[in-house]
Amino acid sequence: MKKTIPTFTSDKEAVRFVAHADLSQFNLKGQMVTFELLPKDKTVSLRLPDALLEKVRQRAAKVGIPAQRFMRLALEQAVKEDA
């Protein structure tokens, strides 16, 4: 039986794990594995209608990530330049 990926509390832990683990021993089927390596050094305050925030939270929960990360990913996707 294959192992499951542990939960990490920091990007450094995740990087260390990937650098040293034999990933063939882990069950990656159906799992979304993401790593955030860029520093988050600015804070933004944003006012949203309750209904919109609730929809964001629901969608984030559906994909299994925190709401703030979901919003950051949506913003990154919106400004992403075509290569």
Cα separations in angstroms, 34 against 14, 18, 28, 54, 82: 9, 11, 12, 23, 21
Residue 45: what pLDDT?
93
Instruction: Please give the residue that has the higher pLDDT: either 58 or 63.
Output: 58
What is the four-CA torsion angle of 16, 17, 19, 25, rounded to 10 degrees?
170
Residue 22: what pLDDT?
86
83: confidence class by pLDDT, cuts 50, 70, 90: very low
Residue ranges of the domains in the chain?
1-37, 40-83
Q: How far apart are CA 66 and CA 41, in angstroms?
A: 18
Rounded to two decimals, the pTM is 0.56
Query: How confident is the prediction for the chain on average, in pLDDT?
Result: 83
Q: What is the rounded average pLDDT of the residues 17-38?
A: 75
